[in-house]
Structure 1
Amino acid sequence: MAYFEHGPEQAAVDSHPESADVTDGDRDNVLVENGVLVPCDGGADFCLTDAVRRAWTDALDAIDADVDTALSESALVDAESSEFAVDESAGDFAVSVDGAHAGRWPSREAFLADAAGSVALADELPGWHGLSSRTRGISLGELRLFLDRCPTCGGEPDFQHRTEETCCRTRTVTTMRCADCDASFVEVVGA
């Protein structure tokens, strides 16, 4: 019944609990509180700072769409390259270490963007690696919204909106995809 939205909601299991030194406020505003995102357009929006944009672009160039390099440079997954496995069979990009789930992204390109973002944020934010993996993941997902080129084909990310109807409700789905290769970066389901 929950599958058809008529039963109790199923609680998600949080496999990455917050470390004791990160507060809820810190988790929600890591990029803003640390000056990675700054108000722009008269305060109506947020923009990525030039320094972080350069660091992110440099990291994307250094990784050069290579998954092994991305994993070793970014510290997104705490393992040697011989210990992890990549699975793209379900239409997304999943990484496991010794058979245990380590992370999942909507595409290889989203993973590469996050890996480069992690490198850039580690350079710009002291204590980046001291944050929990959950907090870093949320921050990288937010950072991905500011991606200006696809890590594999160089195409421009584009936002698209669609309406989906189920037996029980109508909802809006917003996606960010590469205009050239259709790689998925973000998908947000609204009410």
Structure 2
Amino acid sequence: MSSRISSLQDMILREEYTGENRCVPCTIVNLLIAVGLSMIAGWIQVELGVAVLVGSILLIYFRGYLVPGTPTLTKRYLPNRVLAAFDKGPESHDETEWETLEKLEAYRENRVDAESFLQEIGAIEPCNMDTEVCFTSNFNERLWEELDTLKTENTETDPAEGNKQLETGLSEGTFTIEIETISAIYDTSPSSIRVEERDYPAVRAGRRIRKWPSEEALAIDAALYRALETLSPRWDQVPLKQRVEILRELRGLVRQCPGCGGAVGADESVVESCCATYDVVAVQCLDCGAHLLEKDPEKSDEGDGGFNP
């Protein structure tokens, strides 16, 4: 009996619309529809109304929706302020790392002025008549050395190895990012890292989902982290929230695509998340279109990263 229930659950379950992928506005809309349908059915017969309500809730729980096409309808008709309350886009992160007074104190003690810190350790320098910052030649060389070490030949991988390494396929080869590198970036143990099945690179690091807009962006973050480690032992002491934002900002300084090898430039694009579409300023590979960094054009200078490339 239990095997039949499990098989039925597997047939109904839609992981792309449930769990971490659940669209909250869609769920709310579908629950309201379910209540309305059950009230109509209950007017005919009370038992029928209860059955409709219970069945609808089960479908919403396992499938993420009751009415097909709800994500499209919510994007089209719900006001942006409502969607924004539930969804923050494909590369947003909840980076709040000070749930206790101890963490807040540690953050205050170890936080850095990002631009000054990166200049002091030799990662960036002023350029273009001192109006921008760029990688120093030494750090740029280190970064590409790290990227080269991440590139491996295209090989078949046993699915059982999926949580030991994160493989991101590119047209010019494959980047292999070790789980140990991801866990080091996010101050967690390798055993807590789980690869998420999504259309973009994502891992569960402890209790949080960490995302990147493309496979190239993930590879750059891993290479940046390793390159910065070689410059200063203080890098690992920078608070996690700030460290992650610094990596994102540095990603915007890359001028050659690590995947297709073409130039990198900025363009305004529209990206889609589970519940809405967003206008973003995207730093992207001009030849292959891979996004390296996505920024809200109205909030491009926010965050603790401390500099705006």
Q: TM-score normalized by structure 2? A: 0.49
CA drift at 1:35: 3.8
C-alpha distance in structure 2 between counterparts of 1:26 and 1:6, whole Å: 35
> For 1:83-162, what aligned pairs fall within 5 Å after superposition?
83-89=192-198, 91-97=199-205, 100-162=207-269
Match of 2:137 among 33, 37, 50: 50
Letter paired with 2:136 = T
Quote the residue 1:167 is aligned against.
none
Q: TM-score normalized by structure 1? A: 0.75
Call closer, same or farther: CA 1:92–1:163 in 2, change over 3 Å.
closer
CA drift at 1:95: 0.9
Quote the residue 2:149 is aligned against.
62
C-alpha distance in structure 2 between counterparts of 1:161 and 1:155, whole Å: 19
Q: What CA deviation, in whole Å up to 9, does each residue of 1:75-114 have, x standing for no partner?
A: 224333x65222251x33211146x325221122111100
C-alpha distance in structure 2 between counterparts of 1:180 and 1:7, whole Å: 33
Q: What CA deviation, in whole Å up to 9, does each residue of 1:33-86 have, x standing for no partner?
A: 5442211222122121111101101100011143443x3346224333x65222
C-alpha distance in structure 1 between counterparts of 2:249 and 2:124, whole Å: 10
2:103 is the counterpart of 1:16: no
Call closer, same or farther: CA 1:120–1:35 in 2, change over 3 Å.
same
Match of 1:5 among 81, 89, 111: 81
C-alpha distance in structure 2 between counterparts of 1:85 and 1:174, whole Å: 29
C-alpha distance in structure 2 between counterparts of 1:97 and 1:162, whole Å: 28
- Contact residue 30 and residue 139 of structure 1 kept, 8 A: no
2:126 is the counterpart of 1:39: yes
Quote the residue 1:185 is aligned against.
292
Q: What is the aligned-residue RMSD (CA, Å)?
A: 3.4
Which runs of 5 or more structure 1 residues have no equivalent in the other structure?
165-170
- Contact residue 160 and residue 174 of structure 1 kept, 8 A: yes
C-alpha distance in structure 1 between counterparts of 2:209 and 2:80, whole Å: 29
Match of 2:189 among 65, 70, 79: 79
Call closer, same or farther: CA 1:73–1:135 in 2, change over 3 Å.
same
**Structure 1 or 2: larger strand share?**
1
Call closer, same or farther: CA 1:186–1:102 in 2, change over 3 Å.
same
Q: Percent identity?
A: 25
**Structure 1 or 2: larger helix share?**
2
Call closer, same or farther: CA 1:38–1:104 in 2, change over 3 Å.
same
C-alpha distance in structure 1 between counterparts of 2:194 and 2:208, whole Å: 10
**Runs of 4+ with deviation above 6 angstroms:** 6-12
Letter paired with 1:85 = R
Tell me the secondary structure at the aligned position of residue 161 of structure 1. strand
- Contact residue 150 and residue 178 of structure 1 kept, 8 A: yes
Letter paired with 1:118 = Y
CA drift at 1:120: 0.5
Which runs of 5 or more structure 2 residues have no equivalent in the other structure?
1-77, 99-103, 152-173, 272-277, 299-309
Call closer, same or farther: CA 1:3–1:63 in 2, change over 3 Å.
farther
C-alpha distance in structure 1 between counterparts of 2:258 and 2:83, whole Å: 41
Highest CA radius of gyration, 1 or 2?
A: 2
